[in-house]
Amino acid sequence: MSQTIPPVLSVVPTRALVDETFKVVVENLPPASPVTLHALLYSEDKDYWEAYGHYVSDHRGTVSVAEDMSLGGTYTGKEAMGLLWSMRPEPGSRTGLRLRKREVTSPMLVHISVYSGHITEGFRKQSPLASVPTERWYMAPGVQRIEIKEKGVRGTFFIPPGPGPFPGLLDMWGGRGGLLEYRSALLASHGYASLALEYFSPSELQSADLQIQYFETAFNIIKDHPQVIPDKVGILGLSLGTMLAFNLVAESTKIKPRCCVCISGHHLVSNRLMIDGSLPNDPKKLRFDENNYLIRRDVVLPVPSDPSQKIDVRNIKCPMLLVNGDDDQNSPTVEAAEDIGNMMRSGGNLHLLSTLTYPDTGHLIEPPYSPHFRATTVRAPRTKEKVMILWGGQTKPHSDAQEDSWRKILAYLHHHLYSSTTPKAKM
């Protein structure tokens, strides 16, 4: 009497950094058998996120996610990492969710499963043919995590494994406040001593001088660390963090960054930027789309011609990379990049500027394989009211942009921070 061999599901590697690929293969299926590959994650906010693809096994009874076409699901086509980047909250979840890892010393646990037939819902109520737990880490083995509370500066410093010394990075997030560590942990996993800086609290920094001093002090904490190469420290910012980066590299006489990476930001604020939970803008230019999602990209438009209403990027003396999406509904990044180019051309420093612009890509350009968040719920800094903000982007092109931009950001940082003899990265 013949014994039926159950399907075998393999995920290789089962433990990896979040920006590393994996291979998902199912074997021992009947030939031409319809199956659904499913990924499930339970977030720190206690929500379930899922992605799935519909496949048909080949004549050998095998499905390979990297090599075979998904015929339907949260992604279609040949997409090796579709089970991660197309994740979304399972049906019936709260609206406006955003998936973010706050505790970086533990992994994101993603359960990969295979189900019989092409199914679209109710995965947790059904028994899979096979299931494999996988770990996705921001923090590589050996990375040190050090809480910083010195000279008034707050943040978390991540130091790569090994003796060093290492290039350094000041990592600044956007205007929602709080301390986010996951990008710095990932940068340290790639060889950069990175300080995730906590900087946003409405009542704390009452003057522009105090503000720029805070960031200069943070930069110098990195520069003066014994495991950091002092003349190889860069700045990386996203959204409001980008505006702060512009302000520092254009205005500060106290620090000399080796390079600067600016994701989804603009320079359309006065040089004396105030961090009070808002930016200079025209509230009449706030718009809402057909879903009543808030669109903020117009509030600083048109681009002012008066130089005093902009950060003077003509003063920038270090190489700078802009990373933008052309469907950013939160910031006018494409218009700003054009004006930055014009200003730097007139200032004689255009040779320092590189720009990446991605089609159908929104504001929240995250590390690779992160889900795309077209709109999320946030609390307004002053009123604490919940509002749904439209960030923009379409899932597939936005995900492609996250993968491509991260690769190019790492190449750019390597070129400018690791060695003057490093071959020039192709942008």
pLDDT in tens, 299-319: 889 999 988 889 999 999 999
150-164 pLDDT, tens digit per residue, is 998 999 999 999 998
Could you confirm whether 328 is annotated as catalytic?
yes
pLDDT tens, 263-302?
Answer: 999 999 864 444 444 455 567 788 999 999 999 999 889 9
Exposed/middle/buried for residue 63 (C-beta within 10 Å: 0-12, 13-18, 19+)? buried
Does residue 393 have a pLDDT over 70?
yes
pLDDT of 308 reads 86
Neighbours of 70 (CB within 10 A): 22
Catalytic residue from among 43, 194, 239, 399 = 239
* pLDDT given at position 203: 46
Give pTM, 2 decimals: 0.93
Q: Which residue type does 352 have?
A: L
pLDDT digits (tens, 9 = 90+) for 209-245: 557 889 999 999 999 999 999 999 999 999 989 999 9
pLDDT score recorded for residue 53: 98
Residue ranges, comma separated, of all CATH 3.40.50.1820 domains in the chain are: 144-418
Helices 208-223 and 240-251 meet at what angle, rounded to 10? 80
Measured from the Cβ of residue 193, the count of other Cβ atoms closer than 10 Å reads: 27
β-strands 130-137, 15-17: how paired? parallel
Query: How much is the average pLDDT of 55-84?
Result: 98
Band the pLDDT of 206: cuts 50, 70, 90. very low
Given a cut of 60, whether residue 344 has pLDDT beyond it is yes
Q: pLDDT tier at 419 (50, 70, 90 boundaries)?
A: confident
Q: Which CATH superfamily is domain 8-137 in?
A: Acyl-CoA thioester hydrolase/BAAT N-terminal domain (2.60.40.2240)
CATH 2.60.40.2240 domain range(s) in the chain: 8-137
Q: What is the mean pLDDT of residues 157-182?
A: 91
Region 378-403 average pLDDT = 89
- Catalytic residue, chosen from 70, 328, 331, 399, is 328
The predicted structure's pLDDT at residue 199: 81
What single string gives the DSSP state of each residue in 182-202? HHHHHHHHTT-EEEEEE---T
Residues facing 206 on adjacent strands: none
Cα radius of gyration rounded to whole Å, the chain: 23
Answer yes or no: 308 catalytic.
Answer: no
**Which CATH superfamily hosts domain 144-418?**
Alpha/Beta hydrolase fold, catalytic domain (3.40.50.1820)
Q: What pLDDT is recorded for position 282? A: 65
Which pLDDT score is estimated for 210?
55
H or E stretch covering 111: strand 108-116
CA–CA distance, 417 with 408 (Å, rounded to integer) = 14
Q: Tell me the three state secondary structure of residue 132.
A: strand
Query: Which pLDDT score, from 0 to 100, does residue 212 have?
Result: 85
Active site residue 252: no
Q: Could you tell me the pLDDT band of residue 379, with boundaries at 50, 70 and 90?
A: confident
Q: Which residue has the higher pLDDT, 5 or 341?
A: 341
Q: How far apart are CA 234 and CA 250, in angstroms?
A: 14
Of the chain, the end-to-end C-alpha distance in Å amounts to 61
Of 249, 279, 276, 277, the C-alpha closest to 261 is 249
Mean pLDDT across the chain: 91
pLDDT for the residue numbered 284: 79
Rounded CA gap, 278 and 296, in Å? 12
> What's the confidence (pLDDT) of residue 20?
98
Residues of the chain with pLDDT > 70, as a percent, come to 90
Q: What is the pLDDT of residue 382?
A: 63
Number of neighbouring beta carbons within 10 Å of residue 255: 20
- 10 Å CB burial of residue 154 (0-12, 13-18, 19+) is middle
Q: Which is the catalytic residue, given 54, 111, 363, 398? A: 363
Instruction: Tell me how far the alpha carbon of residue 96 is from its chain's centroid.
Output: 17
Tokens of 365: 């350009």
pLDDT at 113 over 70: yes
